[in-house]
Structure 1
Amino acid sequence: MITSGVERILIIAPHADDEVLGCGGLIEKACRHKNEVKVVVIAVGDITHPHSSEKVLAATRIEELKNALAVLGCNDFEVMYNDKDSLLDTIPKNEIISKLDNIVNNYSPTMVFIPLPSYHQDHVVLFEACFAALRPRPTQSIKLIAMYEYPLISWYYQKFWNTGELYLDLSNTVHKKVEAFLQHKSQRRPPNHLISPESVLKWAEMRGLEIGLPYAEKYYILRSHVL
């Protein structure tokens, strides 16, 4: 899937840290093989986390994002809204779709990765907006659209996806995925939490076991074709 210097990969994430949780290995491998990778994070904001009662500023989240992507070798990223963390359902959906349309048209990706929906309203809104923005068009160069997963989908009523499944071997890069996640310092939880470096490693190990590899990332194909 990741060859040398031939793909323009667009990764769209609801929040800063979802890009690593879902696609950390893919970002690192794609950048290492000289492909172009752009990460778009839709929302950050000043927010008080219930798990720590600590207020985290939007500027902190953006700096953590920058540091995490640097670990993975990616320096092309943007944040769509810097004051809408957990508030995407308050924005007219056509506004988000229009912004995504512009990004897709200007970047002309060959591969796009979007989040699976989950119980979090921001993830649901973004999935639906991405699905609209990635509608089939005759001039599109996109040959793969896939959904990425993250630990919080373990609490969601739809457990199985009627899509093709794609695995990415992380045997030689899972350590970079964990290192990148550690840069999102404000998001780190205790070892027994789904969002922890220990769980990032366990999740990759679980997906690896499904296909006989030490570690893997799993993706769900929405649309794929050979150019």
Structure 2
Amino acid sequence: MPESHPKTLILSPHIDDEVLGCFSFLGPDCFVLHFGAEDRPYVSREERIAELWRAADVLGFAWEVLDFPVNHYRMQDLIAPAEDAINRLKPTTVLMPEPSYNQDHRAVYDAGLVATRPHDTNWFARQVLIFEQPDSVLWFHGAPHEPNYFREIQIEHKLAAYALYASQIRGHRSPEILQAQARLRGANIGKPYAEAFRVKRMVD
């Protein structure tokens, strides 16, 4: 954990979710809590973490990878580490994924809601935001949610960061789809490209 408190904490189900959905927040004032990294036939856990090291070195964010089993997250198991990170880091802003067809994203979202609830013994993050990704836009889980907070991005910088996760570039989240999504969200606010979020809490 860093000695100083970061302004932003991202609850990221997997390595690469932070770049896909929260690129505009990544930097020296950001800490990313990844809940797991798996071994697969085509890429090992060690390779995934090596990709994360490279991305964090370029973008400047701090991170931690927990050891929960990917594709088998249980919401009740994720609450305590999420609360612990929030209470130790004392961020101003906490981001969590939009629930989608990905069961791990739903588990992290539900745990994040519990961890950021108004509570007299927990750190109160003044901003709680839900970030979207290709999976939550292309195939809705439940009713579509309209984003209401936007941040302009330089798309070439986001795609360059995504390229550092070479093992994760797939057709359903290709650079072309990321660019199209960013162009749509940019059009929402009259800018070339943007990322979109849903405000769960915003305290002035």
Fold match, TM over 0.5?
yes
TM-score, normalising length: structure 1: 0.81
Partner of 1:225: 203
Greater mean deviation of Cα atoms: 180-189 or 94-103: 94-103
Q: Report % sequence identity.
A: 31
For residue 141 of structure 1, report the CA deviation from its aligned partner: 4.0
Q: Of 111, 119, 136, which residue of structure 1 is paired with 2:118? A: 136
Q: Does structure 1 retain, via aligned residues, the 8 Å contact 2:11–2:82?
A: no
The structure-2 alpha-carbon separation of the partners of 1:7 and 1:224, relative to structure 1 and needing over 3 Å to count, comes to farther
Rounded to whole Å, the distance in 2 between the matches of 1:42 and 1:155 is 23
TM-aligned CA distance change 1:7 to 1:41, over 3 Å: closer
Tell me which of 171, 193, 198 is aligned to 1:215: 193
For the pair 1:39 / 2:32, whether they are aligned, the reply is yes
Partners of 1:69 and 1:123 in 2: CA distance:
21
Aligned residue for 1:221, secondary structure, equals strand
The aligned residue for residue 184 of structure 1 is 165
2:189 is aligned with 1:203:
no
Match of 1:101 in 2: 83
Q: Paired residue for 2:72?
A: 87
C-alpha separation between the residues in 2 aligned to 1:80 and 1:7?
19
Equivalents in 1 of 2:58, 2:157: separation in Å?
A: 7
Gaps of 5+ in 1: 1-5, 49-54
Return the letter of the residue paired with 2:73: L
Query: Per-residue deviation at 1:159?
Result: 4.0
Cα separation, partners in 2 of 1:176 and 1:129, compared to 1, 3 Å: same
Contact 2:149 2:197 in 1 (8 A): yes
Partners of 1:118 and 1:213 in 2: CA distance: 27
Distance in 1, matches of 2:34 and 2:73, equals 12
Q: Compute the RMSD of aligned alpha carbons.
A: 1.9
Q: TM-score normalised to the size of structure 2?
A: 0.90
CA contact 2:92–2:127 (8 Å) conserved in 1: yes
* Counterpart contact for 2:6–2:89, Cα < 8 Å: no
Q: CA deviation at 1:71?
A: 2.5
Aligned to 2:22: 23
Post-superposition offset of 1:177: 1.1
Deviation at 1:112, TM superposition (A): 0.5
Number of residue pairs matched by the alignment: 198
The Cα of 1:7 is off from its aligned counterpart by 6.3
1:145 equivalenced with 2:128 (yes/no): yes
Q: Which of the residues 23, 45, 58 maps onto 1:58?
A: 45
- Deviation readout 1:70-122 (Å, 9 max, x if unpaired): 22222x100111x6121214xxx333111111111100111001000000111
Q: Deviations over 1:140-193 (max 9, x none)?
A: 34110010000011212424227x6100011xx32221111001111112xxx2
